């Protein structure tokens, strides 16, 4: 099962590559995520960054300050490894490994839990991160994927 999930997560990243991403796009994508979460009464925080600049952030009812700490930790995984936090976590779990000092990172600063997804531009690479925090990791990830699919259409 883990190999199938890893293949599915890799396919999602390839499918959801964009041709551009600017501040207006961040607003549109963030607003879409807020709309989806609000309709479902999901207690999440949403964060979108390009490079080091935070372009969008929303904390919906039921979310807590700790969600922002989780966002920071998940974002660091995408920035460091160039793949979604969920994919990185599943790859490590498949090998019986965890992100730790042996990999050159402080696990208190990184979280390989689902919810942070790379904003990848075709022929450029990863330029940012879109993150959801507040649900079980597979659900955080799935909400981001759903929003990116809708955003691309």
Please give the helix or strand (H or E) that residue 140 lies within, else none.
helix 137-152
For residues 17 and 153, give the distance between their C-alpha atoms in angstroms, rounded to a whole number: 12
pLDDT tens, position by position, 68-97: 999 999 999 999 999 999 999 999 999 998
Residues 6+ apart with CB under 8 A from 69: none
pLDDT cut 70: percent of the chain above it? 99
Domains with residue ranges and CATH for the chain: 2-152 (3.30.450.150)
Closest CA to 117 of 94, 90, 148: 148
Give the model's pLDDT for residue 11. 96
pLDDT at 111 over 90: yes
Query: pTM of this prediction?
Result: 0.95
For residues 25 and 43, give the distance between their C-alpha atoms in angstroms, rounded to a whole number: 23
């Amino acid at each position: 099962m883990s190999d199938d999930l890893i293949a599915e997560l890799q396919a999602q990243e390839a499918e959801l590559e964009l041709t551009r991403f600017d501040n207006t796009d961040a607003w549109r994508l963030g607003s879409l995520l807020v709309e989806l979460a609000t309709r479902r009464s999901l207690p999440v925080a949403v964060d979108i960054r390009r490079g080091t600049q935070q372009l969008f952030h929303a904390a919906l009812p039921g979310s807590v300050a700790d969600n922002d700490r989780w966002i920071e930790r998940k974002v660091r995984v995408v920035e460091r490894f160039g793949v979604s936090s969920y994919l990185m976590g599943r790859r490590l779990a498949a090998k019986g490994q965890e992100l730790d000092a042996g990999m050159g990172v402080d696990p208190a600063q990184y979280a390989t839990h689902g919810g942070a997804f790379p904003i990848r531009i075709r022929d450029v690479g990863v330029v940012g991160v879109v993150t959801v925090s507040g649900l079980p990791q597979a659900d955080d990830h799935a909400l981001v994927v759903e929003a990116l699919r809708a955003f691309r259409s």
